[in-house]
């Protein structure tokens, strides 16, 4: 007998599994018309059966887990319940098989092809006539899965909104003559910037990137199409592609928002965009363009304060490291250096530290290139080489601004290093960054920049080195024994049994096995014997060994501790340490 997904069917399931009491069922049944009218007035549409049930429970002050309800429906239909991952959806497949009105009417969403079948998310998995229609259209078997009607409707809007906008934008536009590095002399104007399709597509992309917690958006022209990729938890994911004919117009819209020169396509440019998502949520984006072989490539760095400013406890410090770091940063004088390669979280550590230090009675001045996050608590100055403002020249002027704390974005040359050291020696607390591998090698780098060892020893308070590793997804992680090869690589005894965690991937983590990132940290206070070793220009190895004897947790030790605690995986720490 054909099953119909009706209110009574859902009530039967909930009652069977103890999620709905008999008296409440009678109440809901008697007041059904009232709840339907209430839903229509509130949301201006007819309710889908599961949405109506959730609304009924909410109105009566009762709790009902939507996921649990949908899993029961999926189980009765003999299929799986999923949370569709927008990054895994084949958007070209979606628009080929269904139209937007059809998808929204029947609440269905083709996802991707798997093992010769097309996986389709359905709010109602019992609609066999819809499955037959899709099978006839696609010419392939359909594998239904259950998903939330709200998720299906939203993703349909995103997919069709972007794809349709880009398809319309590409029509009536010819391919830009700037298709290779040899054709720089002939560049088209790139269409009208107020093209509604382009405006809509840009808006979809920016909002979607923020919703997905992307840190960067890459817009990359290829021979026949443009690819849009997001960086999520440090990894790149291809999100969209659209015809190359729309590339110039798409980029011109973004360049206009970033206040760049739209006509200039042969030189790199930088700019900023402020994205207003709603009345309370604003996000800044830093834009950068470079000319590549098939056109201009743009990268947008999403500068959301929530990603850059966190409580120091959430960054990745071990308790002793954080205590030592806080002691040094509250001394009020000296220099603290944060080191590591690009993308190791140095900016997050510095911004979070300054946020904790910021008080009405303290004057904090920062010199940055470029300014990443605007913080009202501090005075920020951007490097502008055209105007003659470099780190070193800005430092000289800042010392006349009565600062208590100075943050120098990066020490790149001897002049900047000299001025930063002088500022620290004259009673200021100076923060800065360097690109070095660990704490001990930072001393040698500063000496190579021309700083006298005795000066370095007298003003340097501490050095922090860090890397970022992805955290294991808490929903799909599992324990396992370390292999002998892994023990050997970490220099652990092979006859001991070590339990670590790994992950298999699930809908919660987009099947990556990871969710979020944390820092592995090495912090070396510069005091006592360490300070004397710096003053006498001891070797990097001597300084490192002395710091370890004094109790320093090395990057390797920090990584192994996070592995033992089940926060990250073996593969992640090997990748982060290269491996030592």
In three-state form (DSSP H/G/I as H, E/B as E, the rest C), the secondary structure along 477-490 is: EEEEECCHHHHHHC
Rounded distance, CA 362 to CA 72, Å?
58
- The Cα–Cα gap between 526 and 507 comes to 46
Report the chain's mean pLDDT, rounded to a whole number. 86
* pLDDT over 70 at 273, yes or no: yes
Q: What is the model's pLDDT at position 506? A: 78
Q: What is the pLDDT of residue 192?
A: 46
Taking only the tens place, the pLDDT of each residue in 145-187 is: 999 999 899 888 877 777 666 666 566 555 554 443 333 333 2
- Of 16-30, 90-104, 105-119, 287-301, minimum mean pLDDT range: 90-104
In tens, the pLDDT along 469-479 reads: 999 999 899 99
Q: Which pLDDT band, with edges at 50, 70 and 90, does 306 fall under?
A: low
> How much is the pLDDT for 370?
77
CATH number of 171-303: 3.30.450.90
The whole-number pLDDT of residue 170 equals 61
78-90: per-residue pLDDT in tens? Answer: 999 988 877 778 8
| 429-434 sheet: strands from edge to edge | 379-382, 364-368, 405-408, 429-434, 334-339, 460-472, 514-525
What's the pLDDT band for 279 if we cut at 50, 70, 90? low
d(CA 370, CA 248): 26
Both tokens assigned to 438: 């660990």
pLDDT in tens, 481-513: 999 999 888 888 888 899 999 998 877 777 788
Helix (H) or strand (E) holding 544: helix 540-549
Predicted pLDDT at 491: 84
Given a cut of 70, whether residue 30 has pLDDT beyond it is yes
Stretch 215-238: mean pLDDT: 90
Quickly state the pLDDT bin for 93 (edges 50, 70, 90).
confident
CA distances from 400 to 394, 406, 408, 463 (A): 10, 12, 15, 27
Strands (E), 181-294: 216-221, 225-232, 235-243, 269-276, 282-292
Nearest to 325 by CA among 351, 360, 361, 349: 349
Of the candidates 93, 77, 82, 84, the one whose C-alpha atom is nearest the C-alpha of residue 127 is: 77
Between CA 541 and CA 545 the distance in angstroms is 6
pLDDT at 375 over 50: yes
- How far apart CA 478 and CA 496 sit, in angstroms, is 20
Average pLDDT of the segment spanning 20-34: 89
Asked if the model's pLDDT at residue 193 lies above 50, the reply is no
Are the beta carbons of 44 and 108 closer than 8 angstroms? no
Between CA 22 and CA 12 the distance in angstroms is: 10
pLDDT at 187: 29
CATH architecture assigned to 307-470+516-554: 3-Layer(aba) Sandwich (3.40)
* Model pLDDT, residue 459: 92
Q: Write down the domain spans for the chain.
A: 7-64, 171-303, 307-470+516-554
Query: Average pLDDT of 523-540?
Result: 94
The mean-pLDDT minimum among 92-106, 336-350, 541-555 falls in 92-106
Percent of the chain past pLDDT 90, that is, above it, reads: 48
């Amino acid at each position: 007998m054909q099953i119909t997904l009706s209110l009574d069917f859902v009530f039967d399931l909930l009652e069977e599994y103890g999620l709905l009491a008999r008296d409440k069922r009678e109440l809901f049944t008697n007041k059904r018309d009232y709840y339907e009218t209430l839903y229509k007035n509130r949301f201006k549409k007819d309710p889908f059966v599961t949405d109506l049930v959730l609304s009924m429970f909410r109105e009566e002050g009762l709790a009902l887990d939507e996921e649990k309800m949908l899993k029961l429906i999926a189980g009765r239909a003999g299929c799986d319940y999923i949370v569709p991952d927008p990054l895994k959806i084949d958007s070209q497949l979606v628009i080929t098989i269904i139209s937007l009105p059809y998808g929204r009417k029947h609440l269905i969403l083709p996802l991707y092809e798997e093992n010769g079948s097309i996986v389709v998310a359905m709010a109602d998995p019992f609609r066999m006539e819809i499955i037959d229609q899709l099978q006839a259209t696609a010419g392939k078997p359909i594998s239904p899965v259950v998903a939330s009607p709200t998720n299906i409707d939203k993703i349909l809007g995103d997919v069709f909104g972007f794809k349709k906008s880009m398809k319309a934008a590409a029509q009536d536009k010819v391919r830009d003559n700037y298709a290779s590095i040899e054709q720089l002399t002939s560049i088209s104007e790139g269409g009208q910037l107020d093209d509604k399709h382009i405006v809509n597509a840009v808006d979809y992309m920016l909002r979607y990137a923020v919703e997905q917690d992307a840190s960067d958006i890459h817009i990359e022209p290829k021979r026949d199409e443009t690819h849009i990729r997001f960086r999520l938890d440090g990894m790149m994911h291809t999100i969209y592609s659209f015809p190359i004919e729309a590339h110039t117009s798409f980029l011109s819209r973004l360049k206009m928002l970033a206040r760049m020169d739209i006509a200039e396509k042969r030189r790199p440019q930088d700019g900023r965009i402020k994205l207003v998502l709603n009345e309370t949520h604003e996000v800044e984006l830093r834009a950068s363009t470079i000319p590549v072989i098939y056109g201009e490539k743009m990268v947008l760095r999403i500068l959301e304060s929530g990603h850059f400013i966190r409580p120091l406890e959430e960054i990745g410090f071990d308790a002793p490291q954080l205590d030592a770091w806080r002691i040094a940063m509250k001394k009020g004088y000296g220099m603290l250096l944060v080191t590591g390669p690009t993308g190791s979280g140095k900016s997050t550590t510095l911004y979070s530290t300054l946020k904790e230090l910021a008080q009405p009675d303290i004057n904090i001045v920062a010199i940055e290139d470029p300014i990443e996050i605007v913080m009202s608590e501090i005075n920020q100055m951007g490097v502008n080489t055209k105007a003659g403002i470099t780190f070193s020249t800005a430092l000289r002027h800042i010392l006349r601004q009565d600062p208590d704390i100075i943050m120098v974005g990066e020490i790149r040359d001897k002049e900047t290093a000299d001025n930063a050291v002088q500022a620290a020696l004259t009673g200021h607390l100076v923060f800065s960054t360097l690109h070095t591998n660990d704490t001990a090698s930072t001393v040698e780098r500063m000496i190579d920049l021309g700083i006298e060892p005795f000066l370095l020893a007298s003003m340097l308070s501490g050095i922090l080195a860090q890397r970022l590793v992805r955290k294991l997804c808490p929903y799909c992680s599992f324990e396992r024994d370390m292999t002998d090869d892994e023990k050997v690589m970490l220099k652990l005894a092979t006859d001991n049994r070590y339990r670590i965690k790994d992950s298999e991937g699930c809908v919660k983590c987009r099947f990556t096995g990871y969710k979020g990132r944390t820092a592995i940290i090495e912090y070396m206070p510069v005091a006592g014997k360490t300070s004397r070793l710096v003053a006498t220009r001891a070797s990097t190895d001597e300084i490192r060994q002395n710091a370890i004897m004094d109790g320093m947790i090395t990057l390797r030790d920090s990584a192994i501790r996070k592995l033992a605690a089940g926060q990250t995986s073996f593969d992640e720490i090997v990748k982060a340490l290269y491996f030592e």
